[in-house]
Amino acid sequence: MRVVGYARESVDAEQARPVFAQQEEIRRWAAQQGHQLVALCQDRSGDGHHPLDRHGYLAVLGAVASGGADAVVVPGIATLSDDQIVQEILLWDLQARGVSVLSTDAEDAAVLGGEDPGATRMLIRDVLARIQEHAATLSRHPQGRARPTGGVDVVVELLAALPDPGETDPTAVNG
């Protein structure tokens, strides 16, 4: 399997592992698993907090978009973000782009394998799935061109806009 590695130093100095140590962990893991490491992307702690403000993460998305990777490997899912909601959004987005997300940390297996990710992650995943369903439904109807089906009549009544109560009526005569 062709994998792209992603390493990021934590903003929290107490939990920070140097990027080079994370990269070496990814290299060893990929070799042990028999995967072909095609790229290593990194972000340092000074880079943006939002994933799309990180050049290394954007490079991961570029590698995925080029078709050069089947999976993204991280040295723990906390590498994606310190925030569990952001982690789930990024996992969901990467999977929607057609790649698996793998971790060198065996403790992440339950989260990444979907076995028992916990109640909070299940809720986040349910919300993301419903957003995806909503987007898919909207994409089937070009904007402004939705048509009812099954002989349903729809009545739309256009109403004149009322003036804002704080505005003065320009047609009123001052007396």
Cα(72)–Cα(76) distance, integer angstroms: 11
Which whole-number Å values give the CA distances from 117 to 82, 102, 121, 122, in the listed order?
16, 15, 6, 7
| Domain contains 159 | no
**Prediction pTM value:** 0.70
For residues 75 and 53, the model is more confident at: 75
pLDDT band at 139 (very low <50, low <70, confident <90, very high): confident
How confident is the model at residue 133, as a pLDDT? 80
| Domain contains 57 | yes
| Domain contains 168 | no
pLDDT of 32 > 90? The answer is yes
Q: How confident is the model over 38-48, as a mean pLDDT?
A: 81
pLDDT, tens digit, 9 for 90 and up, residues 75-134? 999 999 888 898 989 999 999 999 999 999 998 888 887 677 777 777 887 888 788 788
CA 46 and chain centroid, separation: 21
Rg (CA), the chain: 24
**What's the CATH code of the domain at 49?**
3.40.50.1390
pLDDT of 145 > 80? The answer is no
**Domain ranges, residue 6:** 2-137
| Domain contains 25 | yes
| Domain contains 70 | yes
Number of domains in the chain: 1
